[in-house]
Structure formats: C-alpha cells, structure tokens
Amino acid sequence: MILHTVLIRFKTSIDKAQKKEIFEAIVALKQKLSGIVDVKYGPNVSPEGLGGGFADALVVTFDTVEARDAYLVHPDHVVVGEKIVASAEGGLAVLLEFDLDI
C-alpha cells in the first residue's frame, strides 16, 4: 500500500469552504479510480508546534503503486492539483509531498 501525503500552506485568502471544495474533489476521485483505499484531509491539530508552517494536509491511501501512478496522471487529479498549487502560498515551492510504502 502507498500512503500519499501532501502538506499545504494555503494562502490566507483561501477560506474553509474553498479548502473543503478542493479536498472533496480528491475524495470524489475514489469513485472514478480503482485502487484508492481511503482519503483523509484536514488542518494540523498537533500541539507540538513542529508543523513547519504547514497548516493543512491531504492523505490518500492506495492499494498499489500502479493505482497511485494512475491517480497522478488522471485528468481530474491534474485539475485539482493545479487548484492546490494556485491556492498555496508560494505555489508549488511550498507544497510538501511524501509517499510511504506501508
């Protein structure tokens, strides 16, 4: 299984409703693509203060590497990915992505 994690610093102008719309577009891909096991998203709630300025995260669990790879190039993912980049403070330079083989 692949745990695909994206940490995001949204622009201050992006409100909760806009964030939810972006994240729900990723959730909707579960109905279009096989291999997505789970999608979680939300704000950082850690009290440790070690988030490095990342206030929100998206975690997608895939059953295989191939499912993750299909997701990355799927047209609907590309569209929402572009929205995430456009909504991030600093664009692509301030997104952190990490895939873990679990």
- With cut-offs at 50, 70 and 90, classify the pLDDT of residue 22: very high
Does residue 94 have a pLDDT over 90?
no
> Which pTM was predicted?
0.92
Half-sphere exposure of 5 (CA within 13 A, CB side): 13
Token duo for residue 19: 């964030």
The residue type found at 18 is: Q
Average pLDDT of the segment spanning 2-7: 98
Which structural domains are found in the chain, ordered by start? 2-101 (3.30.70.100)
Residues 25-81 have pLDDT tens digits of: 999 999 999 999 999 999 999 999 999 989 999 999 999 999 999 999 999 999 999
Contact indicator for 22, 82 with CB cutoff of 8 Å: no
d(CA 9, CA 29): 22
Contact indicator for 39, 25 with CB cutoff of 8 Å: no
DSSP E strand boundaries for the chain:
2-8, 36-43, 56-62, 96-101
